[in-house]
Chain A
Amino acid sequence: MGETIRNIFARQKWMAIAVATIVLAGLLTAVSPVFLTLSNMQSILVQSSVTAIMAIGMTFIILTAGIDISVGAILFFTSALFAQLMIDTESYLLAFSAAMACATFLGALNGVLVVKFKISPLITTLATYSIYRGAAIHLTGAQNIPVPREMGFLGNGKLAGVPVPIIIMIVIFIIGVYALTRTRFGVYTRAIGNSARSAQESNLPVNRVTIAVYAVSGFVTGIAALILLARVGGLQSGIGIGIEFTVIAAVILGGTKLTGGSGTVTGSVIGAVFLVLIDNGLNLMNASPYIYDIVRGSVLLAAVAVDRISAVRQQKAVEAQRAARIQGAAVAG
């Protein structure tokens, strides 16, 4: 029995964060009567949507053993471009398509730079982070720009009683799971993360897939940007600062390995919800908002430590099994 449970945990990397999330939700229910209401559940999911959507894209990047520090800057640039174009042209169609095209392009540019120049993704995207952010402020002249009130629909509106951000998040989640588990693109993504060299040697389109992965992350970041813009009501200079670390934290909490090859989209989405639950709990306790960082950092450390301990245990079990088998063979021989 214990063995089976352990096996399930080992195979489904997202189970651990799912259990942690349920436990935390249980604690919050016990502490606060309003927690387990439909409206609070909805608000938690709406709050998670931006991080969750970005985390889905980031999962693919991390699965290739890459990283994108610039997603916060892409988020900001897309928001800035959309808001500016709405002011200048008042055309939703134009602003929307330009923003999405641009988000995808900025992501793809990261991918191209990573592939062509062979500088580590960390340094590449740290550099583009600075470039994108500077370019966005250049574009808007460092001003806050309001967006039209109808935009609010994307952030606070409902379709058949369900908030729009949740619907968008679920759609992207389903596409993400499908792409990762049922398509060649998903298989190649994992293969690159497992070993870029053997992927190259077996003639997989490593460069194209790597660029595509960064482009996909840029695209979903663009969607997240529009939701965030709609929720906030306009462009603010602080948008996206530090969000890259929240997104990466969600992915890591979800059980995806930073070394690539192993991880799930499901885990990342639950990871994003988990982070919002923590905020929610701290909020219920009237904690200073500055404590959030401390708690998030500690939770992240605890998660990787637990993961490390279980990995060491598993390795020991495997070694013990192997030793027993060798001994058995020796006796039989």
Chain B
Amino acid sequence: MGNYQANLKISLKKGVLDPQGSATMGALVSLGYEVTDVRVGKQIMVEFEAESREEALALVDEMAKRLLANPVIEDYSFMVEEVGETK
């Protein structure tokens, strides 16, 4: 068993209106920045044990699909790294 850490990035799908992103972009523009798009998302860190890197990747994907992201409106991506045998 190895300890793994996953970092997920979750954002609203392209084509799904992102009111937080629009408001933030308006503020950046009013500060004088020539910004053409802003999307606001969230980052989630999960630590867990898995037999192998393959299992770790599969588990994170499953967690994302079932709970961490809502596939109707959100996209997700993640990176997984091994953080040692024991904590």
**Physical interaction between A and B:** no
